Amino acid sequence: MPKEWDVFVSHASEDKEDFVRPLAQALAQLGVKVWYDEFSLEVGDSLSRSIDEGLAISSYGVVVVSPSFLQKRWPERELRGLVAREVEAEQKVILPIWFGVTKQEVLAFSPPLADTIAIKTEETDAEEIALTLLKIVRPDIYNQHPRADLEKMASGEALQKLQDELEYVREELAEYQCPYCKAPLSSRGSYELDAEIGVEVSIETYACGYSDGDEGLQRFCPSDPRFPKFEEFIMDTRESDGQWICYARPITKNARYLSLMRGIGRSEQEAKDQLFHSYERAAKKWTP
């Protein structure tokens, strides 16, 4: 069966805050696929079934052996599953970490586990241990990056830098997006407001129809709650040369910001329908 996870982290819940969570986060930031209950379990999941599945589809089992671990039944059950996997595969599967325990305590709990070379946490933090584990479980990643870069990845510094860069890009792009629906800028131009004195004003128009400029708002974005409803117009129809023409007369302040094409038809109703379709096109929200 192909392994979907690089490591399964077996631990006691009491050790999450002090050690296990930082370790799992550091591994994940290094690019390791970690089966860790806070990352992988969802509401409604069966704990026993999820653990069995995690064990079955993980390449390695990281076992955080602590005084709390030695007193728990679930970690012991997980450990038995890992031992069975190691015997069956005839290769290293269990990667023990001794967290505040002595060899005598581990020996009393599990002689095979005590006989396995373990990582000890007395003088090593979670990020350093994550790098040690990385060399075993994902040598491809370990060999791909200089040590200094790996340390930044494990600490989250590289991720934070990337997030800062993305935030900067978002701020830069915001200038070219509609503030209501993020539609891209479609045109930016200027026109003469007063030719005699040479006054020019600029106007920006976005793909959603939103327009704004030096003279203020020109047209609302359809996603703006202020975008006028059709009921904010009165339909004015008249007949001319055998055709019916329907105009939209704004009756609210917001409606004045929306110019609708007149409706033309062979009947009064057809002209009204054409005008309504013009409104529907204008009110259609932009989608990428």
Catalytic residues: 78
Q: How, if at all, do strands 119-120 and 185-194 pair?
A: unpaired
Give the C-alpha separation, 160 to 158, whole Å.
Answer: 5
Give the C-alpha separation, 259 to 205, whole Å.
Answer: 15
Give the C-alpha separation, 133 to 115, whole Å.
Answer: 19
Give the C-alpha separation, 201 to 193, whole Å.
Answer: 6
Phi, psi of 254 (to 5 degrees): -65, -35
C-beta pairs of 180-185 under 8 Å, 24+ apart in sequence:
180/208, 180/210, 180/221, 180/223, 180/224, 181/208, 181/210, 181/221, 181/222, 181/223, 181/285, 181/286, 183/207, 183/208, 183/210, 183/221, 183/286
* Nearest by Cα to 16 from 56, 72, 60, 54: 72
Instruction: Report whether 102 contacts 66 (CB < 8 A).
Output: no
